[in-house]
Amino acid sequence: MVLAVEARNLSIGYLDEDDNLVLVVRNASFSVEEGEVCCLVGESGSGKTTLGNSIAGVLPPYSVTKGLLYLFGKLVVKDELRFYEGVRGRLVSYIPQNPGSSLSPYMRVWDQFWRVMKAHGFTEETAKKKVAEILRLLNLKTEVLDHYPHELSGGMQQRVAIGLSLVTGAKLLVADEPTSSVDAHLKLQLMRLFREIKELYGVTIVLITHDVLLAGKICDKILVMYGGEIVEVSSAKELLENPLHPYTKLLTRVVPVLGYKKKLESIPGEPPRPGQVMEGCVFYERCPVRGDECVKTPPAQEVDGRVVKCWRPLIKESALLS
């Protein structure tokens, strides 16, 4: 078994104006096997994007890291030291959340492809053949190469960004909310596209999203994040059929399902501020089934082959409704 990603007690934070360290990801330990599609799921401010950025190697230089992070066995984070040279673009590629603002408005699409591929040693002839192959996969006509990004629709911009991440031959893709700027129909098309990319190129995909049901349609594994911590790790099928953490249970009930009428619910209270220091369970203030033991920090325990950070993971679903 080859691990594409392995994190050991990885913490990521930033210094505030008073030089105090504000951690937005705390003690994350997990692994992603080669060829898996893994989703980081959680509300805004949960730390999922920061964790994804650490995998992609696009953390800002002023960020602070602790712990270890390996990509295909190569050490890229060792506490405050980072070793991404020769990794970004070659081993791992990043697909931004908003391709409209990430693509250069001053360059035609072909020039952006050629700029990337030239830096990776492609000849122009080889680059054109590779780009044509990828455009066919993305269901884009070669005419898009002559356009500027603003002349393309949001869905086409997103597929161009995906294409740019593929041309270097990276073995690991990190996609940050790739469906946030498209409609429901294109959202499903993009999910199918990621599956095709996985099957055709054998890449590992880490996908960041707030939509747990959408994650269930594409992902092999789901990591649920809350308050900067990973609170549950499970296969997508098991997590949707029988979530263990109270937060995950509530998260699956607040998302609308296409073609199915149901009363939309909400999770009471507000999520903690990024970097907010909390004693005990991070979900304590909002948890409808909290007990006396929850004032203490729960360990990450294995339950039925899954990992959950909760003192009461086997509480019945009905208890959440009371």
Number of domains in the chain: 1
Does residue 97 form part of some domain? Answer: no
Amino acid at 292: D
Looking at the domain assignment, is residue 67 inside a domain?
Answer: yes
Residues of the chain with pLDDT under 50: 318, 321-322
- Owning domain of residue 40: 3-91+171-183+211-308
Residue 137 counted as domain residue: no
Both tokens of 62, joined, read 């002023």
List, for residues 131-165, the tens digit of each pLDDT value: 999 999 999 999 999 999 999 988 899 899 999 99
CATH of the domain at 281: 3.40.50.300
Query: Three-state SS string across the chain, please?
Result: CCEEEEEEEEEEEEECCCCCEEEEEEEEEEEEECCCEEEEECCCCCCHHHHHHHHHCCCCCCEEEEEEEEECCEEEEECCEECCCCCECCCEEEECCCHHHHCCCCCCHHHHHHHHHHHCCCCHHHHHHHHHHHHHHCCCCHHHHHCCHHHCCHHHHHHHHHHHHHCCCCCEEEEECCCCCCCHHHHHHHHHHHHHHHHHHCCEEEEEECCHHHHHHHCCEEEEEECCEEEEEEEHHHHHHCCCCHHHHHHCCCCCECCECCCCCCCCCCCCCCCCCCCCCCCHHHCCCCCHHHHCCCCEEEECCEEEECCCCCCCCHHHHC
Cβ pair 288, 319 in contact under 8 A: yes
Establish if 271 belongs to a structural domain: yes
CA-CA distance, 98 to 229, in Å (whole number)?
A: 25
For residue 108, how many other CB atoms are within 10 A of its CB?
A: 16
Residue 220 domain-assigned? yes
- What pLDDT does 256 receive? 64
For residue 219, give the nearest of 183, 178, 160 by alpha carbon: 178
Tokens of 180: 């946030």
Question: Per the structure block, which two tokens stand in for 2?
Answer: 């080859």
Q: What pTM was computed for the model?
A: 0.90
- Looking at the domain assignment, is residue 56 inside a domain? yes
| pLDDT tens for each residue of 12-70 | 999 888 888 899 999 999 999 999 999 999 988 899 999 999 999 999 999 999 999 99
- Please report where in the chains the tokens 């060829």 appear, as a residue: 35
Per-residue model confidence (pLDDT) at position 321: 47
Chain CA centroid to CA 71, Å: 15
**Residue 317 belongs to some domain of the structure:** no
In this structure, is residue 131 part of a structural domain?
Answer: no
- AA letter at 37: V
Q: Are 65 and 12 contacting, i.e. CB atoms less than 8 angstroms apart? A: yes
